[in-house]
Structure 1
Amino acid sequence: MLIVMHKESVIIDDLIKQIIEKKLLPGAKLPSENELADIYDVPRITVRNALTKLEERSYIYSVQGKGRYLKEKSIPIQLPLTGKTSFTEKMEKLGYDLNTINISCEKINFDPKIYEVLKASEMDTVYQVGRLRLINDEPIAIHYSYVSEANFPKIGDDGSSILSMFAYYREQGIQQFSSRKTFLSVTFPTSKEQQLLACKSMVPLIVVESDCIDADSQSVLEHTKILYRSDKFKYDITIDDL
């Protein structure tokens, strides 16, 4: 069993090396399972298992009846880390073809971390407003905003139609924003997130968490959590004043 796993790893590592060294170019068709089995002198099932893992990691994709292909080159995207301008405004100013779909507005169960950030009591109601972000019709991120009903009494009714939280806050008379405590981490998608982001279970997601602040009163408006696909895009995290 260990020998089989080692042979799978050899195939995976070698194909990834060829991708990095540009010996395999984006869109290129990979050799067939039989051809790879001959090249690496292994059973076909070993090749299939290796290719399945590469597909789960989103290096390659399958076309039924035609074979497997290397994924297209990643699209460079600037990853917004500051809270002075909305995600929508930043993407539009940078010239991206952005589309946003509201996917949820629901009450959350008590979460000590989120409630503490929002300065909400355990008896308060907090809503999660979710939006799916797409660039060039490709899902790039799921954007969750956690908002206290005590601060925005109509959020339960309004939340299902919100595409930009900053636009919503401006409607409530808040004009200037800032952010604090921005954290980055990595996770893997749940089955629901796989469906929304059109990705496999082993594709890592970049998680960005921060708090959005009313710049004038310094009160916390929301806790934000964004899940970015890591396989389709390259992220520029250079901080600027967009």
Structure 2
Amino acid sequence: MSADIESKILDDLMKKIIDEKFHENEKLPSENELAEQYRVPRATVRKSLAKLEERGFIYSQQGVGRYVKNESFRVELNLNGKASFTEKMKRSGHQLITENLGCEQIEFDQKIYDRLSADPEDNIYKIKRLRVIKNEPIAIHISYLNQKLFPDIEQDGSSIQSIFAYYKERGYTELINGYSLLSVTFPTLKEQQLLACQSMEPLIMVESNCLDASSDKVLEHTKVLYRSNKFKYNISWDS
């Protein structure tokens, strides 16, 4: 019964924030005020507020209170089309900063090898990049490439900023998506640290393949983790 009440309070406060009944950086009523409003013990309200903070809707200031989180920007992202993430952000007028987190060879992983149409003896490298806008980390891009197609990837991988630019420099100028899967996940501890998010803040995960249009060669398998509260998702087709 207590859990049901906690959920109802959580849902009500979340709806008020989404409907802008509470505004960005506005201080929420105190635990005592909310307990009186909902006619429940203060401990019940505290649990609801803790979950609301885990979901990324509010933040706490020690000894002061809880405030509605400042969602200073939300990026419109088209999940379709041929343009790279870098190109899409440039078109949207956002100054994107990419931090390359390194390149390493992975152990054999059947799923990734299958996605890349790779042979078991092939060497597959993983390149991880953090995307930042307005000093806020918004996404993690993980790209898997076959050394058979990109012989210098071990040396080049840790300096790549735009993977599409890397392909085009090597003669792959017409790129298409050959596979896409969208799902919702929650961040690991490492991902929480990289994205500066809470454990219960949902992430949108998009897995896809990038192909060379002229040969149908799979150039890359990609996994991208987007902070769900930093994007508006456009699923119409663009170029």
Normalised by the shorter chain, which TM-score bucket?
A: over 0.9
Partner residue, 2:96: 98
Residue 55 of structure 1, CA deviation: 0.4
| Distance in 2 of aligned mates of 1:12 and 1:240 | 38
Evaluate the alpha carbon distance shift between residue 162 and residue 94 of structure 1 in structure 2; reply closer, same or farther with a 3 A threshold. Answer: same
Evaluate the alpha carbon distance shift between residue 63 and residue 221 of structure 1 in structure 2; reply closer, same or farther with a 3 A threshold. Answer: same
How many residue pairs get matched? 239
Partner residue, 2:216: 218
Residue 74 of structure 1, CA deviation: 6.5
- Which digits, 9 at most, give the CA deviation of each residue in 1:89-143, with x for residues without a partner? 1211221121110012111121112112212111211011011111212111101
Partner residue, 2:15: 17
**Is contact 2:80–2:235 with CA below 8 Å preserved after alignment?**
no
Question: Which one of 124, 127, 141 corresponds to residue 126 of structure 1?
Answer: 124
Evaluate the alpha carbon distance shift between residue 200 and residue 238 of structure 1 in structure 2; reply closer, same or farther with a 3 A threshold. Answer: same
Identity %: 58
Partner residue, 2:135: 137
| Aligned residue identity for 1:186 | V
- Which consecutive residues of structure 2, in runs of 5 or more, have no partner in the other structure? none
| Distance in 2 of aligned mates of 1:146 and 1:14 | 42
- Which consecutive residues of structure 1, in runs of 5 or more, have no partner in the other structure? none
| Aligned residue identity for 1:190 | T
Residue 83 of structure 1, CA deviation: 5.5
Residue 145 of structure 1, CA deviation: 0.6
Which secondary structure does the structure 1 equivalent of 2:233 belong to?
Answer: strand
| TM-score normalised over the length of structure 1 | 0.92
**Is contact 2:82–2:238 with CA below 8 Å preserved after alignment?**
no
Question: Which one of 40, 44, 47 corresponds to residue 46 of structure 1?
Answer: 44
| Aligned residue identity for 1:182 | S
Question: Which one of 83, 86, 92 corresponds to residue 85 of structure 1?
Answer: 83
**Is contact 2:108–2:120 with CA below 8 Å preserved after alignment?**
yes
Evaluate the alpha carbon distance shift between residue 103 and residue 167 of structure 1 in structure 2; reply closer, same or farther with a 3 A threshold. Answer: same
| Aligned residue identity for 2:54 | E
Partner residue, 2:189: 191
| Aligned residue identity for 1:143 | H
Q: Superposition pairs for residues 27-38 of structure 1, below 5 Å?
A: 27-38=25-36
Q: Answer yes or no: is 1:207 the counterpart of 2:180.
A: no
Residue 59 of structure 1, CA deviation: 1.2
| Aligned residue identity for 1:45 | A
| Aligned residue identity for 2:48 | A
